[in-house]
A = this chain, B = another copy of it.
Amino acid sequence: MSETTTTAEDLRARALKLDAADPLADRRKLFALDDGVYLDGNSLGALPVHVPARVQDVLTRQWGELRIRSWGESGWWTAPERIGDRIAPLVGAAAGQIVVGDSTSVNVFKAVVAATRLAALAGGGRDEILVDATTFPTDGYIAASAARLTGHRIVPVDPADVPGALGDRTAAVLLNQVDFRTGRLHDLPGLTAAVHAAGAIAVWDLCHSAGALPVGLDEHGVDLAVGCTYKYLNGGPGSPAYLYVAERHQAVFDSPLPGWNSHADPFGMTPDYTPADGSVRGRVGTPDIVSMLTLEAALDVWDGVSVDAVRAKSLALTDFFLECVEAYVPAGRVTSVTPVAHAERGSQVALRCDEAEPVMSRLIERGVVGDLRRPDVLRFGFTPLYVGFADAERAARVLAEVLEETPAG
């Protein structure tokens, strides 16, 4: 007992020191948070406090007073590419390669179909799409639909086994940079290089990595990428997703959803389709302005933030949380399925626990909000802009208390 107390005192003291030295500590006040510990920012990022006032202006002045004129005067029409350029530096992309709009699922569809078309341009006979077997389900469902419509075959493969599965038949490979369940970080540079060595197209889903770690889309030569904006980017519930098309592919990017917003002259309203140049070619229909400008406002919290600093804090936070769990939690009750190696870890910690469902309910009752991936995974997301080390220590401590009250199954 006295040993535990000493450990707790020590961990709490270290948490305070780490928080005091945290160069991102000043960001927390930009968010609407209560006295609980919010570790679900990997599912829905917290509200930046300045956002409601900005959205009020969109509603009352831009829509309410200017109405139709806002398409030009308030910059509505160009929002998808303008906001894409705000996201670009967070994922290591130069401007002009990202458009915001539609859901992640719809963007996966655009990217996978377009990837098979890019592969076909480079030579025929490629009829396989490799898809991360542990992917977030929608990617797999949508890739299967894309394969069915384009005459390809889906090959489910564990990301680690991708290099061995690549071959002359591989048209495209769809992978998640960070696994939604385990928090495992896959090797984007190495896997992209392997995909290219096989003559195939690499499509990355950044939902669980953008805003949490450096992605380096341009540096690593990624072909196409998609991601959501409501997790680490804090864009709001269901905020629009984005599509990255590397500049070298834009002139031949062939979208399966060639809506009028991607036309070279959308207001010409001609019956023939002529695609626009640049990232705009990834647009589809009329942009969802209220959600889109909510996201645009929310992105202000990134001004002046270095993604490297975010990554450093993220690793320190998840290290520290794992250490606290190790110190506090009774042996054998939880097992981390998140890799220990930094090179393999995203910004969440996933703990396997036989009593995951009642444990998460009790954690939430006590103000520690994580989430559950059925049947037995407790997920804790660490969003470096607003989670601190004292939060991590408290979450582990409350987890231990809850486990002590919850009989082992």
Contacts and interface: CB of A to CB of B under 8 A. Distances in A.
Interface in A85-137: 101-106, 109, 113, 133, 135-137
Given A141-B259, A238-B288, A288-B288, A60 B32 contact: yes
A137 B52 contact: no
A374 B265 CA distance: 12
B237 A70 contact: yes
A7 interface: no
Contacts of A302: none
A11 interface: no
A372 to B, nearest CB: 9
A139 to B, nearest CB: 9
Nearest to A262: B141
Contact of A291 (B47, B104, B133, B291): B291
A236 interface: yes
B374 A145 contact: no
Interface residues of A, number: 84
A402 interface: no
B269 A137 contact: yes
A258 B67 contact: no
A133 B271 CA distance: 8
Interface string A368-392: 0101011000000000000000000
B268 A374 contact: yes
A52 B46 contact: no
A270 B141 CA distance: 10
A142 B56 contact: no
Contacts of A374: 267-269
Interface stretch (A182-190, A279-287, A304-312, A325-333): A279-287
Top 3 A-B residue pairs of the complex, sorted by shortest distance between their CB atoms: A103-B285, A105-B259, A105-B285
10 contacts: A32-B64, A38-B67, A40-B67, A44-B67, A47-B64, A51-B59, A55-B56, A140-B273, A149-B149, A238-B292
Given A67-B369, A237-B289, A290-B291, 19 more contacts: A32-B65, A43-B68, A44-B67, A52-B60, A59-B294, A102-B102, A102-B106, A103-B285, A105-B257, A105-B259, A105-B261, A105-B285, A136-B269, A137-B263, A137-B269, A137-B270, A138-B260, A140-B273, A228-B286
